[in-house]
Amino acid sequence: MLLPVILSGGVGSRLWPLSRENYPKQLLALIGDNTLLQDTVFRLDGLPDKAAPLVVCNETHRFLVAEQLRKIGISPAHIILEPIGRNTAPAAAVAALAALTHDPDALLLILPADHTIANAEIFREAIAAGISLAQANYLVTFGIVPNRPETGYGYINATDPIEDSIALSVERFVEKPDIDTAKQYVESGQYYWNSGMFLFKATQYLKELEKVAPDIVGTCRLAITEALEDKDFLRLDAAAFKACPSDSIDYAVMEHTDDAVVIPLDAGWNDIGAWSSLWEISEQDSDGNVKMGDVLTENVQNCYLRAEHRLLTAIGIENLTIVETADALLVAHKDHVQDVKKIVTHLKADSRSEVELHRKVYRPWGSYENIDVESRFQVKRITVNPGATLSLQMHYHRSEHWVIVKGTAQITRGDETFVLTENQSTYIPLGVKHRLENLGKLPLEIIEVQSGSYLGEDDIVRYEDVYGRD
């Protein structure tokens, strides 16, 4: 059985300010109506003997991933939760160990959740060609046929064909080259971009990993053995997984094994590693501009312009990336968009919330959006999904006023339980247990005014929670 393993642990910092740590690029609809994660699942349709996908993701993203899969009618085999990122080699190892508990002959198709592939049919043909090789104990990777010299990718050098297949024997993996070296690679016709996609037996991968990185296998085995089933999630043992060395599949296994082969792939692949990549694959107007949202231009050429919340206007510019969100604005020359990561580093050093969160923050029960914030008060717009329930909780440092603006709310306040409808309100004193529930069939919206000496999200003591949060 072919088990697609979707790795969804990245944060996409080069696509800030749209991609944030708590809402990264794989969860965004950057091209079309579906998110990158959803498109990764959709392009698997038509593969033979395919199991439901297994997703490995950050614990913080668990409900977002589950909800996005639910919206497209997918019930995953597992959603494995990493307490901390440890790169792709451990992620593939825990996926392999989980798969072997159900299928001793499992083939793993390792796919990043944040790539785009224009021609899904050619992609599926390459996967089908790799299945027999994986069953013969080869470790298969997919090398992108380069269409230009590129310094942002690693390369795979491959020349000798594997008998009766379209695959080539891997000679070596090479790091991101300088531009002159990249030109030589492309001209030779013997180098391919390293896509980060793999196909192999679960047993064979663990066997090869054990040879070169037994610590990874040992800690991952313990993390799976001590894992906890938490509703739809498999929560890895935190202590064991945090002790696991961090390494990629390339470094840990593919560069050391004698059984690595590459299948050339020319299917319109892009890893959307920067805003310039998104400009390249998006629909452009006659002036070479990509316009997303409410955008008005005059004498503008070759720009990527994205407005999320308001009108964006531009005059007399070229080769710029401008991205507007509710709480941040990015302006960068297209030749320097790789340096967005440096801005994120500065924001982290200053402990800025814009690294992690958008103004609108998603929760398993719905979302909230900060409207106004001052030192001793803040105002939020809270949306609770139909049938959803917030935790029974209490705050040490703040009181709250709730005004119902849409829908019907059931309120627990201390020993009281009562119902409020539109234009009605209530007050939650500091230190009082409370809960908000939407028992209706339509979204519930409230305006919450918090006041107190400390307004951080960590001032929550949970007594009961249907989502298994602490």
pLDDT (tens digit per residue) in 242-296:
999 999 999 999 999 999 999 999 999 999 999 999 999 999 999 999 999 999 9
305 and 245 share a domain?
no
- Greatest pairwise CA separation for the chain in angstroms: 76
What integer pLDDT is reported at residue 84 of this predicted model?
Answer: 93
Domain boundary among 286, 308, 342: 342
137 and 220 share a domain?
yes
Structural domain contains residue 470: no
From the number of C-beta atoms within 10 Å of its C-beta (0-12, 13-18, 19+), residue 451 rates as middle
Lay out the sheet containing 392-394: strands in order across. Answer: 416-420, 409-413, 434-437, 392-394, 461-464
Structural domain contains residue 371: yes
Low-confidence ranges of the chain (pLDDT < 50): none
Quick check: bond before 17 cis, omega within 30? yes
| Contact (Cβ atoms closer than 8 angstroms) between residue 451 and residue 399 | yes
**What are the angstrom distances between the C-alpha of 279 and each of 14, 43, 66, 187, 296?**
14, 22, 29, 25, 17
Structural domain contains residue 33: yes
Structural domain contains residue 23: yes
**What are the angstrom distances between the C-alpha of 275 and each of 22, 157, 288, 340?**
19, 28, 15, 9
Structural domain contains residue 350: no
185 and 141 share a domain?
yes
Domain boundary among 229, 251, 270: 270
260 and 287 share a domain?
no
Say what the pTM is: 0.90
From the number of C-beta atoms within 10 Å of its C-beta (0-12, 13-18, 19+), residue 229 rates as exposed
228 and 100 share a domain?
yes
- Please tell me the number of Cα atoms within 13 Å of 5 on its side-chain side: 28
330 and 388 share a domain?
no
What's the gap between Cα 314 and its chain centre? 31
174 and 295 share a domain?
no
| Contact (Cβ atoms closer than 8 angstroms) between residue 317 and residue 303 | yes
List all residues 6 or more positions away from 396 whose beta carbon is below 8 Å from its beta carbon: 430, 431, 454, 459, 461
253 and 279 share a domain?
no
What's the gap between Cα 196 and its chain centre? 15
CATH code, domain with 132: 3.90.550.10
Task: Give me the helix-helix angle, 214-225 and 202-212, nearest 10°.
Answer: 130
What integer pLDDT is reported at residue 170 of this predicted model?
Answer: 95
Structural domain contains residue 255: yes
132 and 44 share a domain?
yes
From the number of C-beta atoms within 10 Å of its C-beta (0-12, 13-18, 19+), residue 148 rates as exposed
101-126: string of b/e by CB count within 10 Å (b at 16+)?
A: eeeeebbbbbbbbbbbbeebeebbbb
CA distance 411 to 433: 11
Structural domain contains residue 282: yes
What integer pLDDT is reported at residue 178 of this predicted model?
Answer: 92
Domain boundary among 211, 242, 270: 270
221 and 289 share a domain?
no
What integer pLDDT is reported at residue 151 of this predicted model?
Answer: 87
Structural domain contains residue 352: no
Token digits for 323?
């991205």
The residue ranges of DSSP E strands in 175-279, in sequence order, are 191-201, 228-230, 233-235, 260-265, 269-270
Compute how many other C-beta atoms are within 10 angstroms of the C-beta atom of residue 283.
Answer: 8
Containing 56, the helix (H) or strand (E) segment is: strand 54-58
CATH code, domain with 365: 2.60.120.10
Domain housing 124:
2-270
The total domain count for the chain is 3
CA distance 39 to 61: 17
DSSP 414-443: TTEEEEE-TT-EEEE-TT--EEEE--SSS-
CA distance 288 to 110: 35
What integer pLDDT is reported at residue 164 of this predicted model?
Answer: 85
247 and 266 share a domain?
yes
389 and 454 share a domain?
yes
CA distance 242 to 225: 15
Q: What is the dihedral of CA 387, 37, 5, 53, to 10 degrees?
A: 50
CA distance 286 to 267: 25
